[in-house]
C-alpha cells in the first residue's frame, strides 16, 4: 500500500506543474489547444462506496496531431479495500481516447465547439466491476462533447453511450458542467475557477440510475494548476451494497 | 570639453544602434477570435514561439488583440501569420503589419 501511495504522490507531483483551465472534474471539453501540443495530466480519485474504498491514479498523456484532433492514452493504477476483505494495488483498465472537432464558431473573447469522442477501454484491469475504473472487460464509449467558453463563464455538455459486449455495464450518460472564473481574466494566467457539474448515468442492463453532483475549485497561476473537488450522489438507484457514498478528486495538468 | 565630446559621441552611437535594432523589426497586430480563456492565450503564444526570433508578444484577451515583433530580414508573410493562428486553433480576423521600413500591409478585412 505504501508503494501505491508513493506512486500516487509521484504522479500527482509530476503533473502539478501545468497551465490548465479544465476540463474540470470529470466532464470533458472540446479541443482548445493547437496542433503539436502534448499534455500530461492526472485526475486522482478516491471513491468510497458501500462495497469498499478505491483509489485511482491515472497518468494521462495526450497529443494533438492537428488543431481539431486529439489522441490520448490513460495509464492507471488502482488500490482497493473491499468489504469482503480483499485489498491490493493493481493496474486498472488502460484507456485510449480519440476526439475529432467538427464544428467551431469563434467570436471576440468566446468560442463554441463540438467534438466527437470515443474511449476504448482495454481489459487490462482487475475485475472489480468499477465503472470507468477497473472492470477487466473491453468497452467502447461513443459520444459528443459540446462546449462554450467565454471569459466570464464556460459550459460543457457531453452525451454518449458506453458499450460493453461481454459485460452488463452498458451505459447511457449525459453530463453538464459549469465553470466560473472568480478573478478578472488576465494574461499571463492567474485565476481561481469554480466548477460544478451534474452526471446522469443509466446502466440499462442492470436498471440502475445515478445522478451525481460534483463541485470543485481550481487555482491556476502561470504554469501551475491545482484542482480539488468532491462528488456526491443525489439519486442513487443501484443495487444494495453498491451505492456510491462520495468521491474525492485531485488533479493537475502540464502542457508542453 | 574632451570628456563632453566623448560622452556625446558615445550616446550618439547608442541611439544609432537602438534605432538600427528597432528598424530591423516588423510589427504584427492581429485580431484573433476564439480566445475564450487565459489558457487559450497561452496556446496562441506557444504556437507563435515556434517562430524563432519572435519578440514582444502581447495578448489582450478581452479584445483578442495579439501583437508581436519579428526580424525584418526573415520577411514573415501575412499568410504565414494567419496559418499559424489557425494551427493554434483560433480564427484570425484582421491583420496589420508595419514593416521595418515603415510600409504597412493590411489584410482584406482590415482594409
DSSP secondary structure letter of residue B107: -
Decide: residue A81, CB within 10 A, 0-12 exposed, 13-18 middle, 19+ buried.
middle
The pLDDT tens digits of the residues spanning A65-103 come to 999 999 999 999 999 999 998 889 999 999 999 999 999
Please provide the average confidence, as pLDDT, over all residues in chain A: 88
B20 sits in which H/E element: helix B2-23
Percent of chain B's residues with pLDDT above 90: 65
C-alpha span between A245 and B6 (Å, rounded): 81
pLDDT of residue A22: 43
A217 vs A18, which has greater pLDDT? A217
- B59 neighbourhood in chain A, CB within 8 Å: 187
Q: Is the pLDDT of residue A132 over 90?
A: no
pLDDT of residue A30: 84
Of A32, A104, A107, which has the smallest distance from its Cβ to B40's Cβ?
A32
Q: Is the pLDDT of residue A244 over 90?
A: yes
Please report, for residues A34, A37, A100, A252, B49, the alpha-carbon distance to residue B41 in angstroms, rounded to integers and kept in the order given: 11, 14, 22, 19, 12
pLDDT of residue A77: 96
- A222 neighbourhood in chain B, CB within 8 Å: none
Average pLDDT of span A163-176: 95
Confidence of residue B50 (pLDDT cuts 50, 70, 90): very high
Confidence of residue B7 (pLDDT cuts 50, 70, 90): confident
Q: Is the pLDDT of residue A239 over 60?
A: yes
Note whether A227 contacts B: Cβ–Cβ < 8 A: no
Q: What is the pTM of this model?
A: 0.85
Kindly give the interhelix angle for B78-87 and B38-48, rounded to the nearest 10 degrees. 130
Whether A215 contacts A228, CB under 8 Å: no
Percent of chain A's residues with pLDDT above 70: 90
pLDDT of residue B111: 54
pLDDT of residue A21: 39
Kindly report which listed range (A181-190, A208-217, B89-98) carries the lowest average pLDDT score: A181-190
Kindly report which listed range (A20-29, A103-112, A208-217) carries the lowest average pLDDT score: A20-29
The answer, yes or no, to whether ipTM is higher than 0.95 is no
Kindly report which listed range (A200-214, B33-47, B51-65, B86-100) carries the lowest average pLDDT score: B33-47
d(CA A228, nearest CA chain B) in Å? 19
What residues have CB less than 8 Å from B15, skipping those under 6 apart?
Answer: none
When scoring B34, B59, B86, B90 by the number of chain A Cβ atoms within 10 A, the one with the most, hence best to mutate, is: B34
Whether A202 contacts A172, CB under 8 Å: yes
C-alpha span between B96 and B65 (Å, rounded): 11
pLDDT of residue B108: 76
CA A52 and chain centroid, separation: 21
Task: Write phi, then psi, for B71 (nearest 5 degrees).
Answer: -55, 130
- B65 neighbourhood in chain A, CB within 8 Å: none
- A150 neighbourhood in chain B, CB within 8 Å: 36
Q: Is the pLDDT of residue B21 over 50?
A: no
Query: Could you tell me which residues are beta bridge partners of residue A76?
Result: A58
The pLDDT tens digits of the residues spanning B55-103 come to 999 999 889 999 999 999 999 999 999 999 999 999 999 999 999 999 9
Kindly report which listed range (A153-167, B1-15, B30-44, B47-61) carries the lowest average pLDDT score: B1-15
Kindly report which listed range (A187-191, B20-24, B41-45, B89-93) carries the lowest average pLDDT score: B20-24
What string of H, E and C letters represents the secondary structure of chain A? CHHHHHHHHHHHHHHCECCCCCCCCCCCCCCCCCCCCEEEEEEEEEEEECCEEEEEEEEEEEEEEECCEEEEEEEEEEEEEECCCCEEEEECCCEEEEEEEEEEEEECCEEEEEEEEEEEECCCCCCCCECCCECCCCEEEEEEEEEEEECCEEEEEEEEEEECCCCCCCEEEEEEEEEEECCCCCCCCEEEEEEEEEEEEEECCCCEEEEEEEEEEEEEECCEEEEEEEEEEEEEECCCCCCEEEEEEEEEEEEC
C-alpha span between B79 and A114 (Å, rounded): 27
Confidence of residue A27 (pLDDT cuts 50, 70, 90): confident
Closest CA to A199 of A13, A78, A26, A70: A26
pLDDT of residue A12: 43
The residue whose grid cell reads 452488463 is: A168
d(CA A44, nearest CA chain B) in Å? 22
pLDDT of residue A1: 52
Amino acid at each position: 500500500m505504501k508503494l501505491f501511495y508513493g506512486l500516487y504522490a509521484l504522479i500527482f507531483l509530476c503533473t502539478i506543474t501545468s497551465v490548465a483551465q479544465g476540463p474540470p472534474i470529470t466532464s470533458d471539453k472540446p479541443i482548445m489547444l493547437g496542433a503539436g501540443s502534448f499534455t500530461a495530466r492526472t485526475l486522482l480519485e478516491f471513491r468510497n462506496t458501500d462495497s469498499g474504498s478505491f483509489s485511482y491514479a491515472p497518468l494521462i498523456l495526450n497529443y494533438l496531431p492537428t488543431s481539431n484532433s486529439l489522441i490520448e492514452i490513460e495509464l492507471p493504477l488502482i488500490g482497493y479495500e473491499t468489504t469482503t476483505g480483499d485489498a491490493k494495488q493493481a493496474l486498472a483498465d488502460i484507456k485510449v481516447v480519440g476526439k475529432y472537432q467538427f464544428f467551431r464558431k469563434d467570436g471576440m473573447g468566446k468560442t463554441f465547439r463540438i467534438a466527437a469522442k470515443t474511449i476504448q477501454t482495454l481489459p487490462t484491469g482487475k475485475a472489480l466491476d468499477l465503472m470507468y475504473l477497473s472492470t477487466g472487460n473491453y468497452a467502447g464509449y461513443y459520444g459528443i462533447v459540446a462546449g462554450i467558453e467565454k471569459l466570464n463563464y464556460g459550459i460543457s455538455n457531453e452525451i454518449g453511450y458506453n458499450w460493453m459486449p461481454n459485460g452488463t455495464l452498458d451505459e447511457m450518460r449525459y453530463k453538464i458542467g459549469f465553470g466560473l472564473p472568480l478573478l478578472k481574466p488576465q494574461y499571463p494566467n492567474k485565476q481561481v475557477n469554480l466548477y460544478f457539474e451534474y452526471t446522469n448515468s443509466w446502466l440499462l442492463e442492470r436498471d440502475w440510475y445515478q445522478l451525481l453532483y460534483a463541485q470543485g475549485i481550481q487555482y491556476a497561476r502561470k504554469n501551475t494548476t491545482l484542482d480539488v473537488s468532491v462528488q456526491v450522489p443525489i439519486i442513487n438507484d443501484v443495487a444494495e451494497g453498491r451505492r456510491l457514498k462520495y468521491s474525492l478528486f485531485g488533479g493537475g495538468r502540464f502542457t508542453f | 570639453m574632451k570628456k563632453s565630446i566623448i560622452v556625446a559621441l558615445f550616446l550618439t552611437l547608442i541611439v544609432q544602434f537602438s534605432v538600427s535594432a528597432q528598424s530591423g523589426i516588423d510589427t504584427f497586430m492581429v485580431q484573433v477570435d476564439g480566445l475564450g480563456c487565459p489558457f487559450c492565450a497561452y496556446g496562441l503564444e506557444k504556437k507563435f514561439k515556434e517562430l524563432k526570433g519572435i519578440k514582444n508578444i502581447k495578448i489582450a484577451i478581452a479584445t483578442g488583440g495579439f501583437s508581436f515583433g519579428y526580424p525584418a530580414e526573415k520577411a514573415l508573410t501575412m499568410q504565414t501569420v494567419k496559418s499559424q493562428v489557425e494551427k493554434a486553433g483560433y480564427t484570425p480576423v484582421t491583420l496589420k503589419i508595419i514593416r521595418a521600413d515603415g510600409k504597412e500591409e493590411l489584410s482584406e478585412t482590415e482594409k
